[in-house]
Amino acid sequence: MPDAVSPTPLQDRPVDMPAPEGAAGPGRDLRSDLAASLVVFLVAVPLSLGIAVASGAPIQAGLIAAVVGGIVAGFLGGSPLQVSGPAAGLTVVVAALVAEFGWQVTCFITVLAGLVQIVLSASRVARWALAISPVVVHAMLAGIGVTIVLQQLHVLLGDNARSSAWANLIGLPTSLQQISVADTMVGLGVVAIMVAWKRTPARVRRIPGPLVAVVAVTALSIPLGTEVRRIALDGNIIDAIALPEVPDGAWGSVALGVLTVALIAGVESLLSAVAVDRMSPGRRTNLDRELFGQGAANMTSGALGGLPVTGVIVRSATNVESGATSRASAILHGVWVLLFALVGVAALEEIPLAALAGLLVMIGIGLIKKQDVTLARRTGDLIVYVVTLVAVVFLNLLEGVAIGLALAVVILLWRVVRAGVDLHRVRDDLWTVSIHGSCSFLSLPRLDSQLARIPAGAHAIVEVDVDYLDHPTTAALHAWQSAHEAAGGTVTVREKGESRLARSRDIRPSRTVRPGTDDSAQRWRDRQTEAAHARLPQPLRRHRSLTHIFAGIDQFHRGRAEDLQRSLAPLAQTQDPDTMFITCADSRVVPNVITSSGPGDLFTVRNVGNLVPSPEHRDGDRSVEAALEFAVSTLGVTSLIVCGHSNCGAMKGLLADEPLDGPVGEWLRHGDQAVALLRSGHPVGRQAAAAGFGEADQLALINVALQVQRLGRHPVVGQAAADGRLSIAGLFFDVGRARMLHVRATEIDDLAENADPTG
């Protein structure tokens, strides 16, 4: 797994049933943090050594950065569960700095980069780091991955890495001709173990794969003796402390290096912190404080002769998944690294360089994510991804990111400011022109070319449905209309949007949207219903209760079908949803509305009470089972959500004094376990009661937590979640307040209260 940030959605923390009442407390939290810190320590040591090798820095510099990142950033940062240290994302930058200035000047640059981060944190600009296009970040990480792989392949083959990606690429034939069989076997051994480790049972994978691979291969390589190149250390971590050195010139290049390290490390840390927040809902990072903590850690690491420090997602994810509850885990992990670096020098010197090269090759490959490429292709950003990746590999990191951001902005402007203009010939003498989107003077070339295709004398229907309209466009349309009518043709203009041609002459252009629901809108809908009733065929008019449905269909065909058709056309032959959404059949729960999703986004299953039958009762109803298997195995959804709601009739039925008979009662038996948990004092129920929820809503919240747990143990769903292919989450829709709550194993969190109104 790559030791770098990924802004794409990460797997939620596994849902476990709460411990018996009275078991939680400060002592349990400390034990959880202690256990988590040991797991993170085992992950951090081999990765820190490998990143130091890839950066061209002293080996111990990686351990110094791990110690400082854990203790200083862990204590001062704004993300209590994030773990900091050296990261693969900066290896290319650091290697270039070391090659140009030497190691001690690079340490000086790291100190100044930390100072810049502290200044930026004081100016409260940390949130702006999140404005970087995710596709650029994905491509940057992939570019770093390609660079690392090209570099470390030479080391794995027993040769030395070259100075640039291009040199590494064209130098591969030479390294293959001079291959060292012993080194190659060691490196490939690490690769083979790490690949195989991903397929072992979840209990086995609790032991970090990188640690297993490096330790196993090191032990097996001892009989090879001097045939294998090994790590060379000059003493322990105290002996490796090196004071930074002030450069004697080239201050422009130094300043560029400082800004590069500060910005890339800062952005990576902030994006990683946001990802950690997603893994532990209910927590929210203070981004400015986190940037301050990272700055302080970089100043300290640079002053002691360590690598630059960032927040890293691999260690942070391991920290969360191992049960950490506070910043004590990150701090303790730094302490364990320090103790190991003081007394474990002899063990470190037995590690082959090729073993670390194999580890880094796997890290580099892990940075190139198939889902990132798929997402870029789906969203039309593949060109941004490819250009950024190539520029990062063959130019440098800063230039590559700058080029990618510039291209992303250009494409964004093109999408936002251009209007869609569609021309259709109904018959030889009748043409329709549909103008939609944002219509400005930038759209005039396409608009003019399409209008010019309408033959003289024909009748033209111009449909204008835009949210932005400026005067030059209006003038061009009027000029074309006058010329077309003068040539014997006719023009009918139909305006659907709120931006009107007549108004564009008199007021400053601005983006307008359709008004929200109010009393006047309700009266308009009533008139539409009556009009639709009058248009119904005579046999249907006696079904007065269906009139509002037919009115809605009529309104859809007249006003929305064309817009929806553009979204549905790519989905006509297949579906590719990202999320499976299991919710209640209640008419007040509208999944696409409350999740702001569109056609093709949700694979929805609805039943009474949003229940997932337990294993012992699945034989009675296999519909949910079939939907789960189809969604996970065939559609490949990446998230699965169970959503309950307030004032649920199913929950009231479960709490009734007399059990319900018939099919409803038989189905509701799947909720009996939730009732038992409510009676036993489930923490979610207690929190809901304290928040003012009634008994039925308390049960509904507990029921969501229970269904999420059942899904985590499901043979198909649970395996997908364990493999990292699927995230499972619970939601609760408070109908009266129109609020969504996030339901976890032991607590609930109001997502509306945590929403950022600014962004």
SS (H, E, C) 108-134: HHHHHHHHHHHHHHHCCCHHHHHHCCH
* Domain membership flag for residue 259: yes
Selected residue with higher pLDDT from 361 and 130: 361
Q: Of 144-158, 228-242, 421-435, 466-480, give the lowest mean pLDDT range.
A: 228-242
Highest mean pLDDT among 61-75, 279-293, 390-404, 455-469: 61-75
In a shared domain, residues 456 and 355:
no
3-state class (DSSP) for residue 464: strand
Distance in angstroms (rounded) separating the CA atoms of residues 188 and 422: 56
Strands 727-734 and 739-743: antiparallel
* Domain membership flag for residue 136: yes
Residue-wise pLDDT for 531-555, tens only, equals 555 655 666 556 655 666 776 777 6
In this predicted structure, what is the pLDDT of residue 545? 59
Distance in angstroms (rounded) separating the CA atoms of residues 497 and 466: 5
In this predicted structure, what is the pLDDT of residue 278? 67
3-state class (DSSP) for residue 580: strand
In this predicted structure, what is the pLDDT of residue 325? 86
In a shared domain, residues 356 and 438:
no
Task: Quickly count helices (H) and strands (E) in the chain.
Answer: 33, 12
* Domain membership flag for residue 336: yes
Selected residue with higher pLDDT from 177 and 297: 297
In a shared domain, residues 51 and 200:
yes
* Domain membership flag for residue 166: yes
- C-beta of residue 46 within 8 angstroms of C-beta of residue 209: no
In a shared domain, residues 59 and 134:
yes
Q: In the predicted model, what is the mean pLDDT of the chain?
A: 81
In this predicted structure, what is the pLDDT of residue 527? 55
In this predicted structure, what is the pLDDT of residue 7? 37
Q: Of 29-33, 414-418, 682-686, give the lowest mean pLDDT range.
A: 414-418
Q: Of 82-86, 401-405, 522-526, give the lowest mean pLDDT range.
A: 522-526
In a shared domain, residues 231 and 95:
yes
Domain final residue, candidates 345, 370, 395: 370
* Domain membership flag for residue 670: yes
Selected residue with higher pLDDT from 722 and 322: 722
Selected residue with higher pLDDT from 121 and 427: 121
pLDDT at 313 over 80: no
In a shared domain, residues 332 and 214:
yes
- C-beta of residue 678 within 8 angstroms of C-beta of residue 697: no
Distance in angstroms (rounded) separating the CA atoms of residues 441 and 417: 9
Domain final residue, candidates 444, 470, 505: 505
Q: Tell me, rounded to whole angstroms, the distance of Cα 675 from its chain centroid.
A: 35
Spatial CB neighbours of 21, under 8 Å, sequence gap ≥ 6 = 681
Long-range contacts of residues 435-439, Cβ cutoff 8 Å, at least 24 apart: 435/462, 435/463, 435/464, 435/465, 435/466, 436/465, 436/466, 436/497, 436/563, 437/466, 437/467, 438/466, 438/467, 438/468, 438/511, 439/464, 439/466, 439/468, 439/469, 439/470, 439/473, 439/499
In a shared domain, residues 207 and 332:
yes
pLDDT band at 641 (very low <50, low <70, confident <90, very high): very high
In this predicted structure, what is the pLDDT of residue 520? 46
In this predicted structure, what is the pLDDT of residue 500? 56
Compute CA distances 542 → 181, 525, 535, 551, 597, whole Å.
86, 20, 13, 14, 36
pLDDT at 284 over 90: no
* Domain membership flag for residue 683: yes
Selected residue with higher pLDDT from 64 and 569: 64
Q: Of 101-115, 193-207, 329-343, 501-515, give the lowest mean pLDDT range.
A: 501-515
Residue by residue, DSSP assigns 515-560 as: --S-HHHHHHHHHHHHHHHHHS-HHHHT-GGGHHHHHHHHHIIIII
In a shared domain, residues 366 and 422:
no
Q: Of 202-216, 445-459, 591-605, give the lowest mean pLDDT range.
A: 202-216
* Domain membership flag for residue 137: yes
In this predicted structure, what is the pLDDT of residue 199? 84
Quickly count: other Cβ atoms within 10 Å of residue 729's Cβ: 22
Mean pLDDT (whole number) for 665-676: 89
In a shared domain, residues 670 and 599:
yes
Hey, what amino acid is at 55?
Answer: S
pLDDT at 320 over 60: yes
Spatial CB neighbours of 684, under 8 Å, sequence gap ≥ 6 = 698, 701, 702, 705, 743, 744, 745, 746, 747, 748
Mean pLDDT (whole number) for 185-209: 84
pLDDT at 155 over 90: no
Mean pLDDT (whole number) for 711-726: 88
pTM over 0.75: no
Residue-wise pLDDT for 94-115, tens only, equals 988 998 899 999 999 999 999 9
Distance in angstroms (rounded) separating the CA atoms of residues 126 and 309: 17
Q: What's the number of domains the chain is made of?
A: 3
Selected residue with higher pLDDT from 105 and 746: 105
Please give the DSSP secondary-structure letter assigned to residue 507.
S
Residue-wise pLDDT for 482-526, tens only, equals 899 888 888 888 776 555 565 555 555 555 544 444 444 455 455
Q: Of 237-246, 489-498, 501-510, 576-585, give the lowest mean pLDDT range.
A: 501-510
Mean pLDDT (whole number) for 301-325: 84
Mean pLDDT (whole number) for 69-76: 94
Mean pLDDT (whole number) for 560-589: 84
Quickly count: other Cβ atoms within 10 Å of residue 498's Cβ: 15
Phi, psi of 745 (to 5 degrees): -60, -40
Mean pLDDT (whole number) for 565-571: 76
Mean pLDDT (whole number) for 464-477: 80
In a shared domain, residues 449 and 586:
no
pLDDT at 31 over 60: yes
Spatial CB neighbours of 546, under 8 Å, sequence gap ≥ 6 = 540
pLDDT at 2 over 50: no
Mean pLDDT (whole number) for 405-412: 87
In this predicted structure, what is the pLDDT of residue 558? 65
The residue range of the domain holding 491 is 418-505
Hey, what amino acid is at 253?
Answer: S
Distance in angstroms (rounded) separating the CA atoms of residues 129 and 635: 34
With a pLDDT cut of 90, the percent of the chain lying above it is 24
Strands 579-584 and 639-645: parallel
In a shared domain, residues 157 and 41:
yes
Q: Of 84-98, 162-176, 277-291, 731-745, give the lowest mean pLDDT range.
A: 277-291
Domain final residue, candidates 444, 479, 505: 505
pLDDT at 3 over 50: no
- C-beta of residue 159 within 8 angstroms of C-beta of residue 357: no
In this predicted structure, what is the pLDDT of residue 366? 79
In a shared domain, residues 501 and 641:
no
Q: List residues bridging with 730 in a β-sheet.
A: 642, 743
pLDDT at 383 over 90: yes
CATH assignment at residue 581: 3.40.1050.10
- C-beta of residue 129 within 8 angstroms of C-beta of residue 267: yes
* Domain membership flag for residue 666: yes
CATH assignment at residue 427: 3.30.750.24
